[in-house]
Amino acid sequence: MTRVTMSIRPLPTSVVHLLDVTVRRGTSVLLDRIAWHVQTGEHWIVLGPNGAGKTTLLQIASGNLHPTSGRAHVLGERLGAVNLAELRPRIGLSSAALAGRVPATERVADVVVSAGYGVVGRWREAYDPVDLQRAGELLDAMGIRRLADRSWGTLSEGERKRALAARALMTDPELLLLDEPAAGLDLGGREDLLYRLTTLARDPASPATVLVTHHVEEIPAGFTHVLLLRAGRVVAAGPIGATLTEEALSRTFGLRLALSADGGRYWARAAGAPPAVPAAGGR
């Protein structure tokens, strides 16, 4: 008898490929049978309310977390069967957790350049000139070259976000992961960052990107796909124009929402009275 087996080898264009991925902690199910495929050239938004599982999903995509069950391939390598030290330089990551690990006294240029050596915090007395030049160019691309010699502790929230985005690009990654890059920015800072991310997304040489956010207003124009997540489950996933609908967004956030779109940017507001908020101290 001939046995037909399905190949599990991902395509060469496959960047993140999750099959039936579940993450459990005790009795909690953080991610529930997720199927997701990110390919070269795609720029994804992961959107959902607080506690939906967005950061957990990004941790899987960065190789920092293994699924409890299911299969996860990142950059063609199966998590659990690959040396993470080899995988990590191929992935650029910007997150609040990383920001919290940077010493306050660290020079901004060193925050960026040290990504090339896979460390946070000064590691070498002197970095290679070619690496320092690249760090300077990336700070320039993020509009903060003038801050290269400042210490991390003196930067504003918005300046830190831009420095971390520059750091994430330092290794010329094949996969760029941005966890809430615009959180905490003022309107000008947000718009400036989104403009730079749009410029990046429109560059044909840019890496496949996954950007996590709670707000449709923080979706940069030029992003191609969206995954909507609620309570650890995928509500909808696919090309952004067809997938990010009022109906899907309302299901994701659990309230009736009106959605507007213009030139690749989005705005949302409650369509009618939002659900009643329990009084403080009430049950």
Ligand X SMILES: Nc1ncnc2c1ncn2[C@@H]1O[C@H](COP(=O)(O)OP(=O)(O)OP(=O)(O)O)[C@@H](O)[C@H]1O
Query: In this chain, which stretch among 46-54, 152-160, 165-173, 189-197 interacts with ligand X, using CB under 6 A?
Result: 46-54
DSSP 42: -
Between CA 217 and CA 44 the distance in angstroms is 15
Say whether residue 100 binds ligand X (CB under 6 A). no
25/283 with CB nearer ligand X: 25
Between CA 27 and CA 25 the distance in angstroms is 6
Say whether residue 30 binds ligand X (CB under 6 A). yes
Contact pick of 2, 5, 7, 50 for ligand X (by CB under 6 A): 50
Say whether residue 54 binds ligand X (CB under 6 A). yes
Contact pick of 15, 38, 52, 169 for ligand X (by CB under 6 A): 52
Say whether residue 48 binds ligand X (CB under 6 A). yes
Between CA 30 and CA 53 the distance in angstroms is 6
Contact pick of 1, 5, 25, 273 for ligand X (by CB under 6 A): 25
108/244 with CB nearer ligand X: 244
Say whether residue 61 binds ligand X (CB under 6 A). no
Query: In this chain, which stretch among 24-32, 66-74, 86-94, 198-206 interacts with ligand X, using CB under 6 A?
Result: 24-32
Q: How many CA atoms lie within 13 A of 96 on its CB side?
A: 8
Say whether residue 181 binds ligand X (CB under 6 A). no
| CB-count burial class (<10 Å; 0-12, 13-18, 19+) for 85 | exposed
Say whether residue 53 binds ligand X (CB under 6 A). yes
- Asked if 168 and 98 touch (Cβ cutoff 8 Å), the reply is no
Binding residues among 190-229 for ligand X as defined by CB under 6 A:
214
Contact pick of 28, 101, 125, 129 for ligand X (by CB under 6 A): 28
Residues 6+ apart with CB under 8 A from 175: 15, 16, 38, 61, 74, 75, 90, 91, 92, 207, 208, 209, 210
59/171 with CB nearer ligand X: 59
Burial 2-39 (b: 16+ CB within 10 A, else e): eeeeeeeebeeebbbbbbebebeeeeebbbeebebbbb
Residues that bind ligand X (CB under 6 A): 25-26, 28, 30, 48, 50-56, 214
